[in-house]
C-alpha cells in the first residue's frame, strides 16, 4: 500500500512542480529542504511525511481543495474541510462578509466563489447587476445554471456586454484574468467552465497586456440607456484560510472613477 501511495505522490508532486514552472532546486529553496530530498521524493526513493506533503504544498501554493488530493495520494487523510456558509462554525466568516458588504454601501460589492458564482451581495450590487435587466431572465436566457455568475454576466452577449463602452479594453483584460485564475487553481472543472465563458465572448485578442490608457486601474465603463457609469474593482481574500470554502471566497468591491458615478449611487441610496 505504501508503494502505491509513493507512486501516486511522486507523479502528483512532479505535476505540480512543472505546473508552477519550478525546478527541483526552486522547490527545495522555497520549502527549505535539500534538492536531493525533493529528487528522492519524486523518484520514490523516499516516502513523504504528512508534514512534508503540507510543506511542499505550501511552497507550490497549491489551493486547499487540491492539497487534500495531494495528501491522499501520499496515503494520508484529507486535512481541509469544506463547509457551507450557513454552518455554525462558519459564523465568524459569514459575519465578516456581511460586515464588509454592508459597510461598502452605497457602492456595490459581491462575494464570489472560485467559479465566480455570486454567493452574497449588498443592495448597491443588486442595483448594478440588475440595471441592465432582470437577473432571473438573464439566468434563463444564458443557461448558466441556478446561480448568478458574474463572469458569465460580463461576457455573455445578453448580459452586460452590450452596455460596456470600453469592451475592446475590458474583454482582453478580463479574459486574461480568468485564464490566470484557472491556471493558478489547477482545477479542471474551473478551467472547463471559464473556457466556455470565454468562448461566448467571441474573438478577443488577449495577447497584448498593454493599454493606451495611463490610468492606474482599468475602469468598466457602462452606458445603459443613457446612464453612464465608470467603475473599477478591488478583489479581497481571507488571510490564512483553513477551510476550502473560505479559501475560495473573494470579495469584489466596486469603486467609482468619477464624481458622476459616485453621485449616482449616493442619490439612489438616499431615495430608498
pLDDT tens sequence for the chain (272 residues) = 344 455 689 999 999 999 999 999 999 999 999 999 999 999 989 999 999 999 999 999 999 999 999 999 999 999 999 999 999 999 999 999 999 999 999 999 999 999 999 999 999 999 888 876 777 777 676 666 678 899 998 998 888 888 999 999 999 999 999 999 998 888 899 999 999 999 988 887 766 655 555 567 789 999 988 899 999 999 999 988 889 999 999 999 999 999 999 999 999 888 77
Cβ burial 98-109 (10 Å sphere, 16+ → b, else e): eebbeebebbbb
Cβ–Cβ < 8 Å for 56, 31: yes
Q: Is 5 left (phi over 0), alpha (psi -120 to 50) or beta?
A: alpha
Report the chain's C-alpha Rg in angstroms.
22
pLDDT at residue 1, rounded to an integer = 38
Cβ burial 164-193 (10 Å sphere, 16+ → b, else e): bebbebbbbebbeebeebbeebbbeebbeb
SS3 156: coil
CA distances from 28 to 47, 49, 63 (A): 16, 16, 19
SS3 112: strand
DSSP state of 216: S
Q: Look up residue 207 and give its three cell numbers.
A: 495577447
Tell me the fold of 2-73.
434 Repressor (Amino-terminal Domain) (1.10.260)
pLDDT at residue 3, rounded to an integer = 47
Helices (H) and strands (E) in the chain, counts: 13, 5
Chain region(s) in the chain for CATH 3.30.450 = 88-271
- Count CA within 13 A, CB hemisphere, residue 28: 13
pLDDT at residue 2, rounded to an integer = 46
Residue listed under C-alpha cell 465578516: 96
| 58 bridge partner residues | none
Three-state SS string across 21-70, please?
A: CCCHHHHHHHHCCCHHHHHHHHHCCCCCCHHHHHHHHHHCCCCHHHHHHH
Paired sense of beta strands 220-224 and 227-237, if any: antiparallel
Question: What pTM did the predictor assign?
Answer: 0.85
Query: Which of 3.30.70, 1.10.3470, 3.40.30, 3.30.450 would CATH assign to domain 88-271?
Result: 3.30.450
pLDDT at residue 134, rounded to an integer = 74
CA distances from 131 to 5, 7, 29, 160, 185 (A): 53, 54, 51, 9, 32
Chain region(s) in the chain for CATH 1.10.260.40 = 2-73
Amino acid at each position: 500500500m505504501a508503494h502505491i501511495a509513493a507512486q501516486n505522490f511522486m507523479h502528483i508532486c512532479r505535476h505540480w512542480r512543472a505546473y508552477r514552472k519550478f525546478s527541483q532546486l526552486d522547490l527545495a529553496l522555497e520549502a527549505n529542504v535539500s534538492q536531493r530530498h525533493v529528487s528522492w521524493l519524486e523518484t520514490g526513493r523516499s516516502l513523504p511525511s504528512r508534514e512534508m506533503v503540507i510543506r511542499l504544498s505550501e511552497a507550490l501554493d497549491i489551493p486547499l481543495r487540491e492539497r487534500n488530493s495531494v495528501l491522499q495520494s501520499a496515503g494520508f487523510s484529507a486535512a481541509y474541510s469544506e463547509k457551507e456558509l450557513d454552518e455554525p462554525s462558519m459564523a465568524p466568516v459569514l459575519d465578516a462578509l456581511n460586515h464588509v458588504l454592508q459597510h461598502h454601501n452605497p457602492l456595490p460589492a459581491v462575494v464570489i466563489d472560485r467559479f465566480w458564482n455570486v454567493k452574497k451581495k449588498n443592495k448597491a450590487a443588486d442595483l448594478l447587476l440588475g440595471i441592465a435587466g432582470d437577473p432571473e431572465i438573464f439566468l434563463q436566457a444564458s443557461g448558466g445554471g441556478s446561480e448568478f455568475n458574474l463572469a458569465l454576466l460580463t461576457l455573455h452577449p445578453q448580459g452586460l456586454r452590450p452596455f460596456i463602452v470600453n469592451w475592446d479594453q475590458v474583454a482582453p483584460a478580463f479574459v486574461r484574468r480568468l485564464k490566470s485564475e484557472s491556471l493558478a487553481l489547477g482545477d479542471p472543472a474551473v478551467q472547463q467552465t471559464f473556457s466556455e465563458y470565454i468562448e461566448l465572448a467571441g474573438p478577443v485578442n488577449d495577447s497584448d497586456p498593454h493599454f493606451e490608457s495611463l490610468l492606474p486601474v482599468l475602469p468598466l465603463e457602462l452606458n445603459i440607456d443613457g446612464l453612464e457609469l465608470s467603475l473599477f474593482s478591488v478583489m479581497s481574500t481571507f488571510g490564512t484560510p483553513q477551510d476550502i470554502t473560505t479559501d475560495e471566497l473573494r470579495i469584489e468591491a466596486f469603486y467609482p472613477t468619477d464624481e458622476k458615478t459616485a453621485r449616482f449611487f449616493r442619490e439612489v441610496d438616499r431615495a430608498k
